[in-house]
Amino acid sequence: MAAPPLRSSELWADTAHSTRVDSPEPLDLVLVNATEEPWGAHVGVWAGDGQVLHLCAEIGRPAVWHRADFADRERYSTLIGFKRVTTRLGSTR
């Protein structure tokens, strides 16, 4: 079974296809927002060594930022947490 296309708040609540983790590993998902609310959170991919790959509207292309770069921006300042996908990614058809 493939992981469904979840929005950030659905992803944070999901337990069927992902699990919350305290210590991220490469390819885990990172959720950040201006508040602790997962609805509307920005989602990136943990690349290791504190680095996060994400689609960056600020510069108009994918970027790799250090975790501290998110904390320095109000809209990304709150780390909601990390999720590890436990089912394969791909089409849900």
Q: Which residues pair with 43 in a beta bridge?
A: 31
Q: State whether residue 60 is helix, strand or coil.
A: coil
Tokens representing 20 are 């919350």
- pTM for the full predicted model: 0.90
| 34 falls within a domain | yes
Q: Please name which of 68, 40, 36 lies closest in space to residue 52, comparing C-alpha atoms.
A: 68
Domain that holds residue 49: 8-85
**Does residue 30 lie within any of the structural domains?**
yes
- Return phi, psi of residue 8, to 5°: -55, -45
Q: Please report which confidence band the pLDDT of residue 23 belongs to, taking 50, 70 and 90 as the band edges.
A: very high
Q: What is the per-residue pLDDT across 35-70, written as a single tens digit (0 to 9) for each?
A: 999 999 999 999 999 999 999 988 999 999 999 999
Q: At 33, which CATH number? A: 3.90.1720.10
What's the whole-number mean pLDDT along residues 10-23? 96
- Among 76, 78, 75, 51, smallest CA distance to 65 is for 51
62 in any annotated domain:
yes
Average pLDDT taken over every residue of the chain = 93
